[in-house]
Amino acid sequence: MMSRHGLWLVLAGCLAVNLHAQDSKQDEQWLLAKYDANGDRVISIDEVEEKRKQAFARMDFDLDGDVSFEEYERLDRERRNLLLQARFVKLDSNQDGRLTGQEYASYLGSFDRMDQNGDGQVSASEMTQSKDSDEALKEEADACLLWFCVRKNMW
């Protein structure tokens, strides 16, 4: 069984990874979304231990009960590969599996959202309005991690 000190070390590590948390409320909600398996809005040592066991099981590809560096590295490569695939799909506008220079150059990401008056330029005031809009969206969410948010009405 994990000690209370160990639990706090795990939770502190999770907070350090959550680079996009804006305040303690978001930190709390993010941790609850990740660890509170039974939905009682309390994180127990048992819930943390169970989450760690699940993570370990995902790394043990050869099911020998141990995780080698190669297995640990494999999981990291697979996660990175999924992220790269998602980015590629977003850039490949005609979905032909090949990225042209034109597709790459024409992808504007969030530029269109920031260019609120559609003049092809983003002014300082539009940047401020876009930031305020992003903050409003985050306030509507219970938990955000990078670009993924869990909305309050989903609880």
Backbone angles phi, psi at 114, to 5 degrees: -75, -35
What's the whole-number mean pLDDT along residues 94-117?
83
What's the whole-number mean pLDDT along residues 123-142?
64
What's the whole-number mean pLDDT along residues 27-38?
82
pLDDT number for residue 64:
96
The pTM of this model reads 0.44
Most confident listed range (8-12, 54-58, 105-109): 54-58
Q: Give the three-class secondary structure for 142.
A: strand
CA 5 – CA 113 distance, rounded (Å): 45
Look at residue 77 and tell me whether its pLDDT is greater than 70.
Answer: yes
pLDDT tens digits, 38-49? 888 888 899 999
